[in-house]
């Protein structure tokens, strides 16, 4: 097992990883920017190293500073969390070149899945169903028109290097194709320095359902079921559930069997999530995330597993030690992502938190790095807390989430708590009868 783990992240996820390390008896090193000197992840770590000024590119994204911090503290493994360097294949390779363990997949698999065209090609060869679309990169507008005519409008033009919903544009007809093509390529170039795009059929009423997998270095792969992440705004998830209200245990088992067999053939290692769109009873793969996901706690609650602990054990060469039949699902879990944003306009609301009272009680989990007196810095993602509830049934989980939202007090910054309370009240949500487009319309209709 590792002697010391450096956590190359901040906020709630840095704390989350520290918790798993502490329970395994492994000391932790926090890294932080000057803006985060007072942050909870720094206060609770065994050691901390300041790695640069506030801007992420000069601190949390600065590979040389992070490797130096690992070196001077004697850490022998690095956990990247999510965001920042977590899907940077070069970083993973450099960590290993420096003789440290990267707590995640191999650099080659990160690189493969980071190129969404390569990811789709690989998944198709493993028998995983895809969204209909171009066979690979689409070279020019004429080729785009030919693909769109073949699969039928509306189509979605997507960046090969895409992420965070950027570089994605819908064309509803042949007339709109040129504009969508230009905007998607422009965005892809600006955001990722790579203007390669591909085309998919734009599904009009899918759900976003993803599968959590875990693989050890000895060829054992299990899945921990699905999460329904259909509640999105601008292609960003706001609220997630495990399991999905839309699929049966048989569908979960069938998809899980395809996915785990595929990843075993690929020789994949550590945690991963395969994202699918689900419509008319069909799953269609869109991308794979080669890291821990923000929404991993809902899976932990229904499976009773600590996914970060599993990631660390696997990176240290341990075997999973169980098989698919040992993975059981109990009850229902919901996560609300609480951000420091205006709940009407979604403008960021950084500043000092003057009062903080998280909810508690049976089946309530709050993953947060907030405390009263903390100043939410303006430089990073606005996520300030993940409120997670677990209950025997979905209806009870909804009741528990509603009372937990009502107990949650954050004063000093605006938060999306009121928006979540409104979503939980909606009959459409309560019926579990929503697609990826529902929330956007709900927010617009206020
Ligand atoms: P990113 O990596 O930028 O998050 P994804 O490929 O994961 O991009 O897609 C993000 C979201 O965009 C999905 O969850 C879904 O809401 C929407 N989306 C992606 N592909 C399609 C599609 N073919 N049809 C309809 N919606 C889509």
398 alpha carbon – ligand 1 mean position (Å)? 26
pLDDT of residue 134: 94
CB 303 within 8 A of CB 375: no
Nearest CA to ligand 1 atom 22: 202
Nearest CA to ligand 1 atom 19: 286
Pocket test for ligand 1, best of 235, 283, 284 (most atoms within 8 A of CB): 235
Report how far residue 419's alpha carbon sits from residue 344's, in angstroms, rounded to the nearest whole number.
8
Widest pairwise Cα distance in the chain: 61
Task: Extract the runs of DSSP E, i.e. beta strands, from 140-269.
Answer: 155-163, 166-171, 197-201, 207-215, 221-233, 236-242
How are the residues of the chain apportioned to helix, strand and coil, as percentages rounded to the nearest 5? 35, 30, 35
How many other C-beta atoms lie within 10 A of the C-beta of residue 160?
Answer: 22
The class level of CATH for 207-443 reads alpha beta
β pairing state of 375-376 and 351-352: antiparallel
- Beta bridge partners, 240, equal 335
Percent over 90 (pLDDT), the chain = 98
pLDDT of residue 67: 98
Enumerate the CATH 3.40.50.20 domain ranges in the chain, comma separated: 5-103
Section 257-275 average pLDDT = 98
How many other C-beta atoms lie within 10 A of the C-beta of residue 164?
Answer: 12
pLDDT tens-digit series, residues 2-40: 999 999 999 999 999 999 999 999 999 999 999 999 999
The class level of CATH for 5-103 reads alpha beta
Residue 446 has pLDDT above 80, yes or no: no
pLDDT tens-digit series, residues 161-172: 988 888 899 999
Shortest-distance atom of ligand 1 to CA 232: 16
Task: Give the SS3 label for residue 392.
Answer: coil
pLDDT tens-digit series, residues 50-71: 999 999 999 999 999 999 999 9
Enumerate the CATH 3.30.470.20 domain ranges in the chain, comma separated: 207-443
Nearest CA to ligand 1 atom 21: 202
392 alpha carbon – ligand 1 mean position (Å)? 31
Indicate the average pLDDT of the chain. 97
In the chain, DSSP finds a helix count (H) and a strand count (E) of: 15, 20
277 alpha carbon – ligand 1 mean position (Å)? 8
Residue 82 has pLDDT above 70, yes or no: yes
Nearest CA to ligand 1 atom 6: 286
pLDDT tens-digit series, residues 153-193: 999 999 999 888 888 999 999 999 999 999 999 999 999 99
Report how far residue 241's alpha carbon sits from residue 362's, in angstroms, rounded to the nearest whole number.
18
Section 297-325 average pLDDT = 98
CB 200 within 8 A of CB 131: yes
Our answer to whether residue 234 is catalytic in this structure is: no
Shortest-distance atom of ligand 1 to CA 166: 3
Indicate which residue of 291, 337, 365, 400 is catalytic.
291
pLDDT of residue 124: 96
CA atoms within 13 A of residue 326's CA, in its CB half-sphere: 8
166 alpha carbon – ligand 1 mean position (Å)? 10
pLDDT of residue 445: 85
Enumerate the CATH 3.30.1490.20 domain ranges in the chain, comma separated: 132-201
Report how far residue 35's alpha carbon sits from residue 318's, in angstroms, rounded to the nearest whole number.
37
Section 274-301 average pLDDT = 98
Section 304-328 average pLDDT = 98
pTM of the model: 0.97
> What fold is seen in the domain 132-201?
Dna Ligase; domain 1 (3.30.1490)
350 alpha carbon – ligand 1 mean position (Å)? 28
pLDDT of residue 385: 98
Section 203-230 average pLDDT = 98
Residue 362 has pLDDT above 90, yes or no: yes
Nearest CA to ligand 1 atom 1: 163
Shortest-distance atom of ligand 1 to CA 159: 3
pLDDT tens-digit series, residues 378-405: 999 999 999 999 999 999 999 999 999 9
CA atoms within 13 A of residue 296's CA, in its CB half-sphere: 27
Q: For residue 265, what are its two tokens?
A: 């053939």
178 alpha carbon – ligand 1 mean position (Å)? 20
Output the ligand 1 site: residues, CB below 6 A. 131, 156, 162-165, 200-203, 206, 208, 232, 235, 275, 277, 286-287, 436
């Amino acid at each position: 097992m590792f002697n010391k783990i450096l956590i190359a992240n901040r906020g709630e996820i840095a704390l989350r990883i520290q918790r798993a390390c502490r329970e395994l008896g492994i000391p932790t090193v926090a890294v932080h920017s000057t803006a985060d000197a007072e942050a909870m992840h720094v206060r609770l770590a065994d050691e901390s190293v300041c790695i640069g000024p506030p801007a992420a590119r000069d601190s949390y994204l600065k590979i040389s500073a992070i490797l130096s911090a690992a070196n001077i503290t004697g850490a022998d493994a690095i956990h990247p969390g999510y965001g920042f360097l977590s899907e940077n294949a070069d970083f993973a390779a450099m960590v290993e070149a420096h003789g440290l363990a990267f707590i995640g997949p191999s650099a080659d698999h990160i690189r493969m899945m980071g190129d969404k065209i390569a990811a789709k090609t690989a998944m198709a060869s493993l028998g995983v169903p895809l969204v209909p679309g171009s066979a690979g990169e689409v070279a020019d507008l004429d080729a785009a028109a030919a693909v769109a005519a073949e699969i039928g409008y509306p189509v979605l033009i997507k960046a090969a290097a895409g992420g965070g919903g950027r570089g994605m544009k819908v064309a509803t007809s042949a007339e709109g194709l040129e504009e969508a093509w230009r905007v998607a390529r422009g965005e892809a170039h600006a955001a990722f320095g790579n203007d390669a795009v591909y085309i998919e059929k734009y599904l009009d009423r899918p759900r976003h359902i993803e599968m959590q997998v875990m693989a050890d270095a000895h060829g054992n792969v299990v899945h921990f079921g699905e999460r329904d992440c259909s509640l999105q705004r601008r292609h960003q998830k706001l609220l997630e559930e495990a399991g999905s209200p839309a699929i049966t245990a048989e569908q979960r088992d069938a998809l899980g069997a395809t996915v785990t067999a595929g990843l075993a053939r690929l020789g994949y290692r550590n945690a991963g999530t395969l994202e699918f769109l689900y419509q008319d009873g069909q799953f269609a793969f869109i991308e794979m995330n080669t890291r821990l996901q923000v929404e991993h706690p809902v899976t932990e609650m229904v499976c009773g597993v600590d996914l970060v602990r599993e990631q660390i054990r696997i990176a240290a060469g341990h075997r999973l030690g169980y098989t698919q039949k040992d993975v059981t699902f109990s009850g229902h879990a919901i996560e609300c992502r609480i951000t420091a944003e205006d709940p009407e306009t979604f403008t960021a609301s950084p500043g000092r938190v003057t009062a903080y009272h998280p909810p508690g009680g049976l089946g309530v989990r709050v993953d947060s790095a907030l405390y009263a007196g903390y100043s939410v810095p303006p430089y990073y993602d606005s996520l300030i807390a993940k409120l997670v509830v677990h209950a025997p049934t979905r209806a009870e989980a909804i009741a528990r989430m509603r009372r937990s939202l009502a107990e949650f007090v954050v004063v000093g910054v605006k938060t999306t708590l009121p928006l979540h309370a409104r979503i939980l009240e909606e009959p459409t949500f309560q019926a579990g009868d929503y697609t990826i487009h529902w929330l956007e319309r709900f927010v617009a209709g206020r």
